[in-house]
Amino acid sequence: MWQTLLPLTPRYTGFMSGVPHKTFYLETFGCQMNVHDSEKVVGTLIQEGYQQVQTVEQADLILYNTCSIRDKAEQKVFHRLADFKKLQAQGKKFGVLGCVAQQEGEKIFERAPHVSLVCGSASYTNLPQMLAQLEGAPMPSSDIQRLNSEVLTPAGNSRSRKSEAESLIRITGLDDRQTDKCFETEFTARTNPHRGYITIIEGCDKFCAYCVVPFTRGKERSRTSKSVLNEARQMADLGYTEIQLLGQNVNSYRDPAESKSFAELLAAIGEVPGIKRVRFMTSHPRDFGRDIVCAIDAVPTLCDHVHLPVQSGSTRVLDAMQRLYTRDQYLERITWMKSAQREISITTDVIVGFPGETEADFAETLDLLEQVGYDSVFSFKYSPRPNTPALSLEDAIPEAEKSRRLEALMAKQREIQIARYKRYIGNECEVMVEGHNEARGQWIGRTSHNKTLNFTAPDPAFPKVGSYVNVRVTGSFPNSLLGEIVV
Ligand code: 5AD
Ligand code: SF4
């Protein structure tokens, strides 16, 4: 579920207040949570009078919303920052948001001195004040202290002093990881007019031995079901038909008003008039109750897809990872899903080469892939991360061995997917139309199972993007299906 994304194209680029006088460029790395945070950041900036642009060259302010889940993701951010350092001479300002910001904090100013703003995801609610500060607007002193900001004014001649001081403005918003607040904003600039994210729970209290998220995104905190439902209704009124509920552990959701369980919230969202599809991501196996499967059975708008990261098929490794479940407990949850009335598509995340993972442990993971029959697996080589307990574990697996295991796992999963996707040939599926591929003359659709189904449609039956149509599956690949519209 992790990906690198292109700059966000907002749904609207209008200016909500005042005359725009500053432009910004925002690039997002990482998970859906980051993508959605960026939508909220874009909305907040537009509200503050900024205009979003699509290239760094056009921008006064360049922002990176970063991911630090694995070392590679983090390095990518620093490379990107280094690439654009030369633009500082043109008076552009740089800000680092998200997980690398939270993890590295003020060290970012040492590694990338051209950066002016470092802000973790738990502090985005303070963005308007930080932006005002960045522009040099006067602020109340209490705000300045709270934001832990610092303006360094180096010695220099009077001609250069102002520009040097500006380039060394250093603002940090990092200290709110214990906040109870979620980053809610009415100014979310959603990028897709048909399908939208709603964050229902932020942070994570699970502390898996390998994971930085509890350190970067702070403690777990849920929104009230009332505010989530209000947002879903507003989205339905605006014409959205698909809602994706987001959370690092979406199913650990606990309504602060104690009125709804996660399964009840899911069902209530699925019953909002106008909503045709509801997805949720990512679920933690420990908190995955049978009531979620019952809700999927009872409410047809809940999509028949569950992403349930297993990480390893070996109970010994799961224990070392501090995952809080055994292989058998995980498989019990799979059994619940397999006994559902609709076939539920199951996907997962796997880490190979965790310290101490033996050949026998790895064989158990391969066996589990077979036993579950996943429709997709996101697989990663273990990457040591700062502050995490796994750093002190012995028996590190050599890089070459991690690569060998990753390739073996991907080859096995490819075989499984080829067989699984083939089973759909001849079936009729409803898809939401996501776009059109000019070069191939195909429409791109997504099934409730979350599979891509590319299809052809004769001229008078051209479907609209965002509409739902029935497609007959005529062919399959390891990662997608092929079909023809049913007219
Ligand atoms: N190394 C490798 N993969 C990791 N993930 C999280 N932390 C690490 C790490 N240190 C993977 C897990 C998680 C997914 C989002 O990223 O599989 O489910
Ligand atoms: Fe990381 Fe584990 Fe929390 Fe998932 S549950 S975000 S892997 S600590």
| 281 ligand 1 Cβ < 6 A | no
User: What average pLDDT does this structure show over 289-303?
Assistant: 98
Phi and psi torsions of 474, nearest 5°: -115, -15
**How many whole angstroms from 162 Cα to the centroid of ligand 1?**
44
pTM: 0.89
Phi and psi torsions of 146, nearest 5°: -60, -40
Q: How far is CA 106 from CA 16, 111, 148, 258, 359, in A?
A: 32, 9, 11, 38, 41
pLDDT at residue 400 tops 50: yes
**Structure confidence by residue, pLDDT tens digits, 322-336:** 999 999 999 999 999
| 210 ligand 1 Cβ < 6 A | yes
Residue 245 CB coordination number (10 Å): 22
pLDDT at residue 396 tops 70: yes
| 215 ligand 1 Cβ < 6 A | no
| 211 ligand 2 Cβ < 6 A | yes
Q: So what's the pLDDT on residue 258? A: 81
- What mean pLDDT value characterizes the chain? 88
201 contacts: CB under 8 Å, gap ≥ 6? 182, 220, 221, 222, 223, 247, 248, 249, 250, 252, 253, 254
User: What average pLDDT does this structure show over 339-363?
Assistant: 98
Q: Measuring from atom 16 of ligand 1, which residue has the nearest CA?
A: 69
Reduced to 3 states (helix: H, G, I; strand: E, B; else coil), residue 434 is strand
The band of 139, judged by pLDDT with boundaries at 50, 70 and 90, is very low
**Cα torsion at 468, 471, 473, 478 (round to 10°)?**
-20
Distance, CA of 131 to CA of 82 (rounded, Å) = 23
User: What average pLDDT does this structure show over 462-482?
Assistant: 97
> Relative to the alpha carbon of 249, which ligand is closest?
2
- Taking the CA of residue 390 as reference, the ligand 1 atom at the shortest distance is 10
**How many whole angstroms from 208 Cα to the centroid of ligand 1?**
10
Which residue did the predictor score with more confidence, 132 or 378? 378
Distance, CA of 216 to CA of 204 (rounded, Å) = 9
| Matching residue, tokens 């001609």 | 159
Q: Measuring from atom 9 of ligand 1, which residue has the nearest CA?
A: 383
Enumerate the β-bridge partners of residue 7. Answer: none
pLDDT at residue 21 tops 90: no
- Taking the CA of residue 350 as reference, the ligand 1 atom at the shortest distance is 17
> Relative to the alpha carbon of 391, which ligand is closest?
1
| 206 ligand 2 Cβ < 6 A | yes
With a pLDDT cut of 90, the percent of the chain lying above it is 71
Token duo for residue 478: 């390891």
- Taking the CA of residue 210 as reference, the ligand 1 atom at the shortest distance is 10
**How many whole angstroms from 351 Cα to the centroid of ligand 1?**
6
**How many whole angstroms from 323 Cα to the centroid of ligand 2?**
8
**Structure confidence by residue, pLDDT tens digits, 27-55:** 999 999 999 999 999 999 999 899 999 99
**Rounded to a whole number, what is the distance in angstroms from the first to the last CA of the chain?**
34
| 207 ligand 2 Cβ < 6 A | yes
pLDDT at residue 165 tops 60: no
Q: So what's the pLDDT on residue 185? A: 73
Token duo for residue 69: 């889940």
pLDDT at residue 469 tops 90: yes
**How many whole angstroms from 362 Cα to the centroid of ligand 1?**
16
| 70 ligand 1 Cβ < 6 A | yes
| 284 ligand 2 Cβ < 6 A | yes
**Structure confidence by residue, pLDDT tens digits, 67-125:** 999 999 889 989 988 888 888 878 899 999 999 999 998 899 988 989 999 998 878 88
137 contacts: CB under 8 Å, gap ≥ 6? none
Q: Answer for the pair 313, 409: CB distance below 8 angstroms, yes or no.
A: no
Reduced to 3 states (helix: H, G, I; strand: E, B; else coil), residue 317 is helix
Q: Answer for the pair 431, 455: CB distance below 8 angstroms, yes or no.
A: yes
Phi and psi torsions of 107, nearest 5°: -60, -25
Distance, CA of 57 to CA of 74 (rounded, Å) = 23
pLDDT at residue 160 tops 90: no
Q: Which amino acid is at 235?
A: M
> Where does 135-201 have alpha helices with state H?
141-146, 158-167
Q: Are strands 169-173 and 150-151 parallel, antiparallel or unpaired?
A: antiparallel
Token duo for residue 71: 């070392």
pLDDT at residue 235 tops 50: yes
| 214 ligand 1 Cβ < 6 A | no
Which stretch of 15-24, 431-440, 453-462 has the lowest confidence by average pLDDT? 15-24
Distance, CA of 370 to CA of 73 (rounded, Å) = 30
Starting at the earlier edge strand, list the strands of the sheet with 345-352: 305-307, 345-352, 376-381
Question: CA 250, 347, 466 angle in degrees (round to 5)?
Answer: 75
Q: Where are the beta strands (DSSP E) in 140-194?
A: 150-151, 169-173
pLDDT at residue 281 tops 70: yes
Q: Which amino acid is at 122?
A: A
Q: So what's the pLDDT on residue 178? A: 66
